[in-house]
Amino acid sequence: MILTAFFKALSQLPDPRFQRVLWLGVGLTLALLVGAYLLILGVIGWFVSDPVSLPWIGEVTWIDNLLGWGSLFGILIASVFLMIPIASAITSLFLDTVAEAVEDAHYPHLPHVAPTSIIDGLRDSIGFLGVLVGANLVALIGYVLLPFAAPFIFYGMNGYLLGREYFQVAAMRRLGRTGAQALRKQHMGTIWTAGILMALPLSIPLVNLFVPIIGAATFTHLYHRITRTAGLADPSG
């Protein structure tokens, strides 16, 4: 069930709607990181624009440059850990488009459903970003304290979070928020396993940028497979 859904999603990557969501998400993520760096530079310039006098050393004029380069190094390091969570959260704003493209191609008999509102999508994306970033920052402590368990922590945690989010996106379009949550809880084992499959490419540079798109498509197929196997009627029909 899971692998079939995954390979169906993979085969649809050339779809123009998939590509549009991918590059929009990556572009907005890069813009956010650049904006954060410019903001940091502005704060540094505000506080240390004048020369600083230090005891026994005298006037120092290069502290702002040092902090500027330090902030650049810091943002580059942070981007390694935050690029994927941020890209996933931003891209989740547009995952409704991915689910719609999957249904148009593979489930054309289903009735059209209204897209998720911008406000609901923005609220869910901000919440997802907060959970992803917060969980991964907390997990850094686990990586340090239990280095031998780091891979299990990383893939288990991100697999759970990705599976939870992407299945929710797919199911909420037709079941609503409450119905999607109920169905997700009933099939948490399958969803978590599929989420771990989505988490595996997270550690592969560039490939990991495709995770949100493939994840949304995979879980759209998975949602329809689960409802069909369980004999559930589509309430949107």
Task: Tell me how far apart the alpha carbons of residues 1 and 94 are, in angstroms, rounded to a whole number.
Answer: 25
Task: Tell me how far apart the alpha carbons of residues 115 and 25 are, in angstroms, rounded to a whole number.
Answer: 18
State the pLDDT at residue 55.
Answer: 47
State the pLDDT at residue 42.
Answer: 62
Q: Report residue 205: phi and psi, to 5°.
A: -55, 145
Q: Give residues with Cβ within 8 angstroms of 102, minimum separation 6.
A: 9, 12, 216, 217, 220, 221
State the pLDDT at residue 223.
Answer: 92
Task: With 0.75 as the threshold, say if the pTM is over it.
Answer: no
Interaxial angle between packed helices 211-229 and 2-11, expressed in degrees from 0 to 180 and rounded to the nearest 10: 130
First to last CA, the chain: 24
Per the structure block, which two tokens stand in for 71? 């902030």
Tell me which DSSP letter residue 234 carries: -
Closest CA to 212 of 202, 221, 223: 202
Closest CA to 133 of 158, 151, 168: 158
Residue 157 burial (CB count, 10 A): 19
Closest CA to 83 of 116, 42, 129: 129
For the chain, 237 residues long, give each residue's pLDDT as a single digit of tens. 788 888 888 898 889 988 888 887 777 767 776 776 666 666 655 655 555 444 444 444 444 554 545 555 555 555 555 555 666 666 667 778 888 899 889 988 888 877 666 676 667 777 777 777 788 778 888 888 888 888 888 888 888 888 888 888 888 888 888 888 889 989 999 999 999 988 888 767 667 778 888 888 899 999 999 888 766 655 555
State the pLDDT at residue 111.
Answer: 84
Q: Give residues with Cβ within 8 angstroms of 10, minimum separation 6.
A: 214
State the pLDDT at residue 193.
Answer: 92
CB 28 within 8 A of CB 121: no
State the pLDDT at residue 60.
Answer: 43
Burial string for 1-36 (b: 16+ CB within 10 Å, else e) reads ebeebbebbeebeebebbeebbeebbebbeeebeeb
